[in-house]
Amino acid sequence: MSDKDLLNKFRYILNFYSRITFVYNLVYNFLIVFLFQSNLEIETLSKN
């Protein structure tokens, strides 16, 4: 296994990792917003 192969593998893993983190952040942000909105709705409902 040459250094070039190792570098390519490393790049591949890095790309894969960054994609996973990207998706994870998207889902996480979506959940936060969703929960925040539903909490607001629950609060306004209970006030009335």
Coil, helix or strand for 1?
coil
Cα dist from 47 to 15, 31, 36, 41, whole Å? 48, 24, 17, 10
Domain range for residue 24?
Answer: 20-48
pLDDT at 9: 96
- Residue 45 in any domain: the answer is yes
Render pLDDT for 6-36 as a digit per residue (tens, 0 to 9): 999 999 999 999 999 999 999 999 999 998 8
Number of domains in the chain: 1
Q: What is the DSSP string of 10-36?
A: HHHHHHHHHHHHHHHHHHHHHHHHHHH
- Residue 13 in any domain: the answer is no
pLDDT at 39: 81
- Residue 9 in any domain: the answer is no
Q: Any idea which residue has 């306004």 for tokens? A: 44
- pTM of the complete model: 0.55
- Residue 41 in any domain: the answer is yes
- Residue 5 in any domain: the answer is no
- Residue 15 in any domain: the answer is no
Coil, helix or strand for 48?
coil
User: What are the φ and ψ backbone dihedral angles of 7, each rounded to 5 degrees?
Assistant: -65, -45
